Every structure is written in C-alpha cells, then in structure tokens.
Chain A
C-alpha cells in the first residue's frame, strides 16, 4: 500500500513538472556512486591516477547533485515571478508606445495597461505556484487571489486578441532551426497568458542555471576542493587500514652507530670527512 502511494507520488511529481533539474539530479546521484567505483576498478591506471580521477568524479557529482537541486530551486522560487512581472511591464510599454507592428494602442483603456503594469506579486505568485507545482489537495491560493488572477488573465486575453498571429513554423528540420533562431528573442511575438508565461520562465531559468552550473561553477569548485577532499580520503583510508610500522631494530654494536658519526661531523676537506670527536673505537677511519 505504501509502495503504491510512493509510486503515485513520484509519478505525479515527475508528470506534473517538465523541469530538467529532477532528471539531471537523479543521474548525478547514479554517477556519484557508480563512476568512482568504475574508475577505481581500472587495472591499467596507477594508484595515483585512479585516486585523483575518482575523487574528482565523486566531488563533481556531489556538487552537481547539491547545486542542481538546491540552487536551481532557489533561482526558480525567487526569479520566476519578478521576471513574469517585468515581461508584462515591458510588453505594456511596447504596446503603449506603438512599437509592436499591427497592434493599435488605442484599443486599450488606461485600466487595461495598469492591470498588466502593476500586477499584485503575492496573488500572482501563489496562484501560479498552485497551478504549476502542487497537487490539488495542497493548494494555497485564496479565492480572492484566484479571482484576481482570473481577471488579469482576461485582460491579457484582450491584449492577445489584438496581436497579429505569430509567424507559422515552417516544415523541415533546418527551416525550423532557422525560424527558432530568428524568433528566439523576438519582442513582437504575441503576449503570453500568465499560466503559460510562468511555466516558460520557470523552464528557461532551470535550463540556464543548469548550463551555468555545469560550465562555470562546478568544475572550478571541484578544482578548489579537490586537495582537501583527497587529504580527507587519504586520512579515512589510513584510519581504516593503519600502516604497519615495523619495530625499530636494535643495533647490536652501539659503538658502530653511524648516526653518531653524522652527528659529530664537523666538515669536509679534500681527503674526506672530518669528525670532531674521534672516539670511534674499533672503527678506524682511513685517510684522516
């Protein structure tokens, strides 16, 4: 019963979200364990090479796991709503200034403009989080907030109607790529409804953060942390398998102790080493 419930929860979570961070983090969790194990099992590599590579693999995936989940979630949580509001403000300004071809600003009242320029952040955020994240039983938005966002959606729909239809995507792979590239940051594309906009911004933030982490953040962090990590692993290894220290061999002839010669060494000349004290009985030195 519990297993069924867990499976249902997982399938709901994965099915209701298109974010790439869950898949990427799950793969990082797999790699965290299996890649260092595979590296350590390489028979042709030296111990040093294996230790360095396995530590690096482990560190990279550990940082990736933490940052893909934690950092991406924080960016989405705090960045999505402000970007959505900024999008509507900019769209309103473009329409007001008549900068979008085919859209007549006279079609809209001042109230319409104000409705999308001054959106209530709290209401917008709680309704959007409900729609995009939570299962129906866990929703938090109040009836008032829902009503507010419904009103906002109606205003945006009014703006959307005035926009000329977006250019049709051509058939064929290369033509599609060309079209996408040309319209990637096209400001004249039709205004997006709040629900679609929130979803798109959330996805885009997620992907941008993952790219940034993968290229600019994780490898340098790994470079900075690899030395202490290797030291720590070595210490752990030594704790688990303490080095066998052979007992000190006693010198049966203490007077022959070479260390004493070294201690008493006072200098060298062309004939050999000069010793300050010459009480080395039984070991006559030749030459001086």
Chain B
C-alpha cells in the first residue's frame, strides 16, 4: 500500500500542481493549528483564543490571497517581467518563443515527457527564475500584506465567536434553569 501510494504517478502529477499543493496544505493548517492552540495548556484561555482565531483567519485569508493575487498577478505579470529582462541572456533564450506563462509551462512539460536531456536543459534556468519570483511575490503578499488585513479582522471575528459561544452558553443555562424550575414545581 505504501509503495503503491508513494510511487503513484497520478499523485505526483497532483503534487506538482501548485493549486493542489497550496489548497491541501492550507486547509490542513487551517484546521490543525487552531485546534492544537486551543488544547494547549500553557497560555491563558484569552491568549489561546486570540492566537487560534488569528491563525484561522490568517490561513483562510492566505488561501484567498493566493488564488486572487499570487496566481493572477504575480505569476502572470512576473512571467512578463522575467521575459522582458532575461530573454536575451544565454540560458534564458527559450523565453523568446513563449509569449505567455501557460505556453511556456506547456512546452516545458512536453520537453520533460520527451526525456531528451538537452531539451529539458533549455527550460531549467527560466523555470528557476519564475519560481524565484513566485516565492518572492508570495512571500511579500502572504507575510507582509496578509497579516495587516488579518489584524483588522481578528477582533471582529473574536467578537462573533464570543457571541456564538455565549448564545450557546446562554441557551444551555436557560435550559438548565427550566429543568430546575420544573423539578422544583414537581416537588
């Protein structure tokens, strides 16, 4: 089973897809991190609640930012920038043949499937430059811009969470009170 899972070409195709990568990891973190923060016994309940809500909001917003800003802005505009700056350099000449990122990526995957090493080599440096710019762009958007928005959203979200839990608590207390009253009237 482990060998089948680890050698699955379908799974590795999925893993190479950045949307799958980000979505899977992001959703796991969105659930796991706040849960572990809430069960931690070291902080005060208020601190843990603040940290868990912040983590949840941050992970959710990061996913949103990734699809809205990174995928559409950084990846597409970044490719054009790299093409403009590097296409005349010796290792990056393949960029001249591809106007868009999609066409470049398609040509690269065909070259990888062909198995010809010289063909694959043409794509290595441009792909690396694209990846480097993606990492830089994602880093700036997800770690500098996103936290600023998160900080604006944490306290309203905490209030909503409080309201929700207080409602439940109040309803429970009322229910307990009703039961007590009934038992008293019976007796």
Measured between C-beta atoms, what is the minimum distance from B148 to chain A in Å? Answer: 7
Measured between C-beta atoms, what is the minimum distance from B66 to chain A in Å? Answer: 10
* Interface size class, chain A: 35 or more
Is A219 within 8 A of B128, CB to CB? no
CB-contact partner of A192 in B9, B14, B144, B150, under 8 A: B9
The chain B residue sitting closest to A181, CB to CB, is B10
Is A52 within 8 A of B43, CB to CB? yes
Report Cα–Cα, A90/B7, bound state, in Å. 12
Query: Contacts A42-B151, A207-B21, A214-B29 hold; do A195 and B43 have CB atoms under 8 A apart?
Result: no
Most buried by A among B126, B140, B147: B147
Q: How many residues of B contact A (CB 8 A)?
A: 64
Q: A184 near B: Cβ within 8 Å?
A: yes
Interchain Cβ contacts within 8 Å, total number? 185
Is B6 within 8 A of A83, CB to CB? yes
Q: A38 near B: Cβ within 8 Å?
A: yes
Q: A255 near B: Cβ within 8 Å?
A: no
Name the prevailing secondary structure of the B interface residues: helix
Is B128 within 8 A of A14, CB to CB? yes
Name the prevailing secondary structure of the A interface residues: helix
Is A31 within 8 A of B143, CB to CB? yes
Is A215 within 8 A of B151, CB to CB? no
CB-contact partner of B15 in A14, A183, A207, A230, under 8 A: A207
CB-contact partner of A39 in B12, B28, B41, B54, under 8 A: B54
Q: Which residues of B contact A (CB under 8 A)?
A: 1-16, 21, 24-25, 28-29, 32-33, 35-37, 39-44, 46-48, 50-51, 54, 58, 91, 115, 123-129, 131-132, 134-135, 138-140, 142-144, 147-148, 150-151, 154-155
Q: Which residues of A contact B (CB under 8 A)?
A: 7-8, 10-16, 18, 20, 22-24, 26-27, 30-31, 33-35, 38-39, 41-42, 44-46, 48-49, 51-53, 56, 60, 79, 83-84, 86-87, 90, 180, 183-185, 187, 189, 192-193, 195-197, 199-201, 203-208, 210-211, 214-215, 219-220, 222-223, 226-227, 230
